Chains A and B, each alone.
Chain A
Amino acid sequence: AQTVTQSQPEMSVQEAETVTLSCTYDTSESDYYLFWYKQPPSRQMILVIRQEAYKQQNATENRFSVNFQKAAKSFSLKISDSQLGDAAMYFCAYRSFQGGSEKLVFGKGTKLTVNP
């Protein structure tokens, strides 16, 4: 079974600085997708960034980028120029599409605090 581990329960960063959230996963599959989701205090889960496992190039979305190391099964999220609105729980998720069905496996999350 796939597992996702986020080793940092909490992180903090100063506004305008850069922070990196860690995520490792375990799988025997060769084709899969990885996601970072953000859950602000309002509770609506929204997608931050996605990475296809077959792509070598790291995904980037504005201030958000990932460092995807497939061999090491590592998928970290870097937030540049942190803003107060980035404060939230961040979840790393692995998407399996085995046997024609889909399922997301989530890490326990990292609570990010942004200090003004």
Chain B
Amino acid sequence: KAGVTQTPRYLIKTRGQQVTLSCSPISGHRSVSWYQQTPGQGLQFLFEYFSETQRNKGNFPGRFSGRQFSNSRSEMNVSTLELGDSALYLCASSPGLAGSFRYEQYFGPGTRLTVT
């Protein structure tokens, strides 16, 4: 079974631009979560999508948004980029059903975003 894939792996953008990151979950997984990883703040939860609906959201400004498609693939968008948005963005997938929440989230390799 293929793992979680994220594209692109590396991205360089300029302040003020917007960016879209993509995540394809493991086949059959319906929940996709996004995390931001920085040296200072560590791993922080951005949001979780399940069956095309956002189920949970972390404490990030509205510039961070996401969506999920019917095939469970998810995209994350950051508008009006700031220098502080430079980070490794990780996505994770899991079955997402109440009866299966004992199972771990499987992580992708991440997208390294650099904002200059």
Contacts and interface: CB of A to CB of B under 8 A. Distances in A.
Contacts of A52: 102
Size category, A interface:
20 to 34
A38 B27 CA distance: 23
A8 B56 CA distance: 30
A95 to B, nearest CB: 7
A43 B109 contact: yes
A44 B109 CA distance: 5
Contacts, number: 62
B39 to A, nearest CB: 10
A24 to B, nearest CB: 15
Nearest to A35: B104
The 9 closest A-B pairs by CB, nearest first: A101-B55, A101-B56, A45-B107, A106-B43, A108-B42, A47-B104, A97-B101, A44-B109, A103-B56
Given A102-B33, A103-B45, A104-B43, 8 more contacts: A33-B101, A44-B110, A102-B55, A102-B105, A103-B56, A106-B35, A106-B42, A109-B43
